[in-house]
Amino acid sequence: MGGVILGVAQSIGARINPEWQILAGHVVFLVFIVFRPRGLFPKAVEPCPKPLPPLLLAKPGRPAIGRVATRTSRVFDVVAIIIVVALLFAPAFASRPLLQDLILIFLLAALALFWNLMAGYAGLISVGQQAFVGLGGYALFALIMVAGVDPLLAIPLAALIVALLSIPVGSLVFRMQGAYFAVVTWVAAEVFRLLLAQWRDLGGGTGTSLPRSATGDMIGLQFISELFGVRSAAAREIIIYWAALFTIVLVVAGSYYLLRSRIGLGLRAIKDGEVAAQSVGVSTTRIKFAVYIFAAFGAGLVGAIYFLQTSRISPDAAFSLLDWTAYIIFIVVIGGLATIEGPIIGAIIFVVLRNALSGFGPWYLIVLGVLGIAVMLLAPKGIWGNFSQFTGVHLFPTRRHLEISETREDAK
Amino acid sequence: MILKLAGVTKRFGAVVVADNIDLEVARGEALGIIGANGAGKSSLFNLITGVLTPDAGTVMLAGQDVTNVSLRKRCLAGIGRSFQIPRPFESLTVFENLLVAAEYGREHGHRGANEFCGSILERTGLAAQANTLAGKLTLLNRKRLEMARALATQPDIVLLDEIAGGLTEAECHELVDFIKQVNQQGVTIVWIEHVVHALLSVVSRLIVLEFGRKIADGEPGAVMHDPEVRRSYLGIDEEVAA
């Protein structure tokens, strides 16, 4: 039966255009796996009774506070600000290749942090984040080339568009769990790749480049060019560098704040046990969905900045499983899953390795693979994860420490 | 009636874990459940809390049908439970485990959450372990944490699943006193326990399960002397004994 439906859909697709045949197949697969996972007539869900007035179980206890920061983390907060300020002024003294490496590190670390939030905390193993990176890139190109928006403004707009698109995509893929979830995220990414290959205004299957005129009068370009005394191509890169720096700072600060908040507490509970978390009232689905949309927004942002820098986009590059998901998983795993520090360290290692091994051809991938296996065997929690466990050092602590004072309030 | 089960049935293939169970629990009551291993005690809790959905029958909580309602909504409607095999949030500290329950449970986000959790920790004997990772606790303390976390959601009815096993006599006394206090504050207790003397010093009513069926229900003294209960649960066959 499934074969017949698939065959009919593909032949209808083939009538329109040979490429639509593959697309139609994917869409049918996606629709069926998503809409009919548990039979035709799922049970209706009864509305929930209103909560009863809660009982006050405990008498007023001793005053207590929940602390998060540690001495190391307070020192590191200052160090982090110094690092960010130094990076902010880096274009004044850093060479162009160094700036390009830093841009790549920032973007990969940001993607890795988002993937880490999903897989490390929310238990969402997605192998389809390239869908949102690619959509971010294409949204940017469409905004610049079709709608004529300024490139700098187009970056956040593209990310917003991706976040909006992730809502319907999410409501489809969230019907699946575990391995099925992973498969469906990948299929969804492929659907977007095939769809955008049909968009002739943006080059179809072969892709397109941003015309020089489109970025020539970008906001701030002339100012930067005069300030640093560089030509417009270098000035454009400085603006992109700052956008990438802004992104990574936003992502690190955002995840840190999130993990220390009430939602973060719920997220950390979900990671350890979803049933137990639901049993104490954590809205697991809502939190996971919010993380998914947040991650899509981030991937869109990264895609927009990356493809603005390369100025060229094609469906295969934009929706590359290897670049935007496989490498990202590698970065998170060697750095340390479920930490903020890990993905940043992983991204630095990845880019340094890539540069060091760029002359060795296929050896590059072999070394990456060996390193991945070695880390998994010797430091299964990742480089930072095991270091942190061994030394007790947390640069971004999220744990809440209870301090109960000695005096009882009612004894005063 | 705070809790009412009508004709609740659940099968896993040929195994019937709940066979047409009717059960009513009054608000403020303390009810004990005993039965041999595999009698369906924990499954009954899973049916009440929503981990399992019954094949037939209804679960009513405070007059509302919650048979197909999510775990989370049942928690917010006032059910708290401990798991027989403890399921702490292992990478969180003991204090954070309670904080999750306090912030997401019924009176979520209230200002005194730290004090509230601290006070429950003191009363369940976990204050010294407040900042220890839950994954590093001993089994005994994991069981205490199960109960403490259930109470931190501020439930109207709390389901306790084998929490007294392995305690010393003194610890058992403390536990019994604590559960009595909780009950006196109006929280309904349903307690599965093999340590019968601890159970009987708290509950005013006892039910016995065998192969998913309720074989006795009533005043604890009478139930414990019921011949069928003695045969099923204690393995005493009256006729052979006589």
Task: Tell me the per-residue pLDDT of A89-132, one tens digit each, with 9 for 90 and over.
Answer: 888 888 888 999 999 999 999 999 999 999 988 888 989 999 99
pLDDT at residue number A47: 38
CB contact under 8 A, A400 and B103: no
- Percentage of residues of chain B with pLDDT beyond 70: 95
Q: Higher confidence at residue A115 or residue A407?
A: A115
Residue A399: band (very low, low, confident or very high) from pLDDT cuts 50, 70, 90: confident
The DSSP line for B43-78 is: HHHHHHHTSS--SEEEEEETTEE-TT--HHHHHHTT
Composition of chain B by helix, strand, coil, percent to 5: 40, 25, 35
Q: Any chain B CB within 8 A of the CB of A42?
A: no
pLDDT digits (tens, 9 = 90+) for B20-75: 999 999 999 999 999 888 888 999 999 999 999 999 999 999 888 999 889 999 99
According to DSSP, residue A119 is labeled I
CA distance B133 to chain A (A): 10
**Averaged over A277-284, what is the pLDDT?**
91
CA distance A334 to chain B (A): 20
pLDDT at residue number A156: 94
In chain B the first and final C-alpha atoms are separated, in Å, by: 41
| pLDDT at position B188 over 90 | yes
Nearest to B114 among A43, A49, A65 (CB): A65
Nearest to B90 among A57, A58, A272 (CB): A272
**CA distance linking residue B58 with residue A369, whole number of Å:** 54
Does residue B198 contact residue B184 with C-beta atoms inside 8 Å?
A: no
According to DSSP, residue A46 is labeled P
| pLDDT at position A36 over 80 | no
CB contacts of A268 in chain B (<8 Å) are 89, 91-92, 96
Strands (E), chain B: 3-12, 15-25, 30-35, 56-61, 64-65, 79-81, 157-161, 188-192, 205-210, 213-218
For residue A59, the one-letter residue type is K
Q: Any chain B CB within 8 A of the CB of A4?
A: no
Does residue B105 contact residue B73 with C-beta atoms inside 8 Å?
A: no
CB contact under 8 A, A278 and B119: no
The dihedral built from the CA positions of residue A166, A168, A169 and A175, taken in this order, carries a sign that is positive
CA distance A127 to chain B (A): 25
**CA distance linking residue B39 with residue B16, whole number of Å:** 9
Instruction: Name the least confident of A56-60, A116-120, A166-170, A246-250.
Output: A56-60
Does residue A269 contact residue B89 with C-beta atoms inside 8 Å?
A: yes
Per domain, the residue ranges of chain A are 1-37, 65-411
pLDDT at residue number A48: 37
Mutation site for B-interface testing, chosen from A279, A337, A410 by largest number of B Cβ within 10 Å: A279
| pLDDT at position A210 over 90 | no
CATH number for the domain whose boundaries are B3-78+155-241: 3.40.50.300
Nearest residue of A to residue B101, measured between CA atoms: A280
pLDDT at residue number B36: 86
Nearest to A282 among B83, B100, B154 (CB): B100
Residue A18: band (very low, low, confident or very high) from pLDDT cuts 50, 70, 90: low
CA distance B211 to chain A (A): 26
ipTM computed for the complex = 0.85
For residue A54, the one-letter residue type is P
The DSSP H or E segment spanning B31 is strand B30-35
**Average pLDDT of the residues of chain B:** 88
Report, at the CATH architecture level, how domain A65-411 is classified: Orthogonal Bundle (1.10)
User: Could you give phi then psi for residue A170, rounded to 5 degrees?
Assistant: -60, -40
Q: Higher confidence at residue A47 or residue A27?
A: A27
Instruction: Name the least confident of A58-62, A166-170, A179-183.
Output: A58-62
Nearest to A400 among B95, B123, B150 (CB): B95
| pLDDT at position A204 over 50 | yes
Bridge partner list, B60: B4, B65
**Which residue in B230, B192, B233 sits closest to B33, CA to CA?**
B192
pLDDT at residue number A392: 81
| pLDDT at position A407 over 70 | no
What distances in angstroms separate CA A356 from CA A351, A383, B129, one per listed residue? 9, 20, 48
pLDDT at residue number B26: 92
Q: Any chain B CB within 8 A of the CB of A401?
A: yes
CB contact under 8 A, B89 and A61: no
CB contact under 8 A, B108 and A281: yes
Does residue A181 contact residue A173 with C-beta atoms inside 8 Å?
A: yes
DSSP-derived 3-state class of residue A5 = helix
**Averaged over A145-166, what is the pLDDT?**
92
Per domain, the residue ranges of chain B are 3-78+155-241, 87-154
For residue A32, the one-letter residue type is F
Residue A54: band (very low, low, confident or very high) from pLDDT cuts 50, 70, 90: very low
**CA distance linking residue A216 with residue A144, whole number of Å:** 12
**Averaged over B162-169, what is the pLDDT?**
84
Taking every pair of C-alpha atoms in chain B, what is the biggest distance, in angstroms?
Answer: 63
Nearest to B106 among A51, A62, A268 (CB): A51
CA distance B71 to chain A (A): 5
Nearest to B89 among A48, A52, A268 (CB): A268
Contacts of A216 (CB under 8 A, 6+ apart): A232
| pLDDT at position A362 over 90 | no
Cα-trace Rg, chain A? 24
How do B30-35 and B15-25 pair as beta strands?
unpaired
According to DSSP, residue B133 is labeled B
pLDDT at residue number B185: 87
Please, what is the Cα angle at B187 between B181 and B192, to 5 degrees? 85
Residue A391: band (very low, low, confident or very high) from pLDDT cuts 50, 70, 90: confident
Contacts of A68 (CB under 8 A, 6+ apart): A260, A397, A398, A399, A400, A401
| pLDDT at position A38 over 60 | no
**CA distance linking residue A52 with residue A54, whole number of Å:** 6
pLDDT digits (tens, 9 = 90+) for B87-120: 999 989 999 999 999 888 886 555 678 888 888 8
Q: Any chain B CB within 8 A of the CB of A67?
A: no
In chain A the first and final C-alpha atoms are separated, in Å, by: 77
Residue A49: band (very low, low, confident or very high) from pLDDT cuts 50, 70, 90: very low
CB contacts of B68 in chain A (<8 Å) are 43-46
pLDDT digits (tens, 9 = 90+) for A243-267: 999 999 999 999 999 998 889 999 9
CB contact under 8 A, B71 and A66: no
Residue A398: band (very low, low, confident or very high) from pLDDT cuts 50, 70, 90: confident
**CA distance linking residue B211 with residue B119, whole number of Å:** 40
CB contacts of A65 in chain B (<8 Å) are 114
What pTM value is reported for the model?
Answer: 0.81
pLDDT digits (tens, 9 = 90+) for A219-241: 777 777 778 777 777 888 899 99
| pLDDT at position A159 over 70 | yes
